[in-house]
Structure 1
Amino acid sequence: MVGRLTRDPELRYTANGAAVASFTLAVNRQFTNSQGEREADFIDCVIWRKAAENFANFTHKGSLVGIDGRLQTRNYENQQGQRVYVTETVVDNFSLLESRSDRKPTDSQQNKPSNGNGFSGKGADGQQKQNANQTYSNANQTNSDPFADNSKPIDISDDDLPF
């Protein structure tokens, strides 16, 4: 699924010390309603362990992200003694779909540490994901040539060329 965060991720830790972040993803539907407007679905999501910490550090309200995972239904008894059922997406992997320069930081984002590059994190299974700089797609980008605005020559040795 691809969508925008409706709020900053909420990072918590379990009693065993495992990180867990919860967030809601607004996902546009592919069709328009009778007024010609696109409706959105709001998907509750949860992500675990190191991926949760990375997700919380590198995303904020309005961030465009791609996720994959599985649906999970759980239940619990609330304070009134009623059984409550919750269906949510357990995120296995995520990718940042905007470059850092395309995002407008919120107040909470300005205080977060930056390592200077995009990051797509590790999935819940611990596998390293590709760097977001390699996987992001910028829908607002008007020119697909990254060197079009650069009038300086590019210094590349013949050994670096694939042909």
Structure 2
Amino acid sequence: MSGINKVILVGHLGKDPDIRYLEGNVSVVSFPLATSESFNKDGRKIEQTEWHNIVMWRGLADVAAKYLQKGKLVYIEGKLRTRSFEDKTGIKKYTTEVVAENFTVLGRKSDFEGDQKAQVRADDADAGYDRNTETDDIPF
């Protein structure tokens, strides 16, 4: 039996998406996403915020770079990926990211400057790194 790796988040972008181009002109965008939840403790309302590292590839990355910006409320579906890298001192580090497969911009109609809703889906390709993206059905 295989496992399920599915993440659903609704949160606000912590900064504008950072787009980079890798070998072969493959675009990748990354940004932090804040999700918050509130609860009562000893009669006080406590808000807890979690920060998530979001990564989008190819066509999805291009659309995100064009339409997303700091503060926007967005619904994201994707999967968790943990990767390792060496820091400047040569020490191996690990990071866990959400590799987004689709997103929907949420919020008030005035937030969309005429667009009713922006929804983008990536193809269900391999591990997110060789992703072919269908952008023909994007409603903007």
Q: How far did residue 30 of structure 1 move?
A: 5.2
TM-score, structure 2 length as denominator?
0.75
Partner of 1:36: 45
Paired with 2:71 and 2:136, the residues of 1 have a C-alpha distance of 22
In proportion to residue count, which structure has more strand? 2
User: Counterparts of 1:75-154 in structure 2 under 5 Å?
Assistant: 75-99=84-108, 101-102=110-111, 116-117=114-115, 118-125=117-124, 126-127=133-134
Gaps of at least 5 residues in structure 2 are 1-8, 125-132
- Identity within the alignment, %: 33
Paired with 2:136 and 2:46, the residues of 1 have a C-alpha distance of 35
Paired with 1:129 and 1:67, the residues of 2 have a C-alpha distance of 19
- Quote the RMSD (CA, aligned, Å): 2.5
Aligned residues: 122
Deviations 1:2-50 (A, max 9, x none): 0000100001111121110001110012534554121110111100010
Q: Would you say the 8 A contact 2:101–2:123 is kept in 1?
A: yes
1:26 aligns with 2:25: no
Gaps of at least 5 residues in structure 1 are 104-113, 134-163
Q: Would you say the 8 A contact 2:38–2:46 is kept in 1?
A: no
Partner of 1:45: 54
Tell me which stretches of 4 or more aligned residues in structure 1 moved more than 4 Å: 127-133
TM-score, structure 1 length as denominator?
0.65
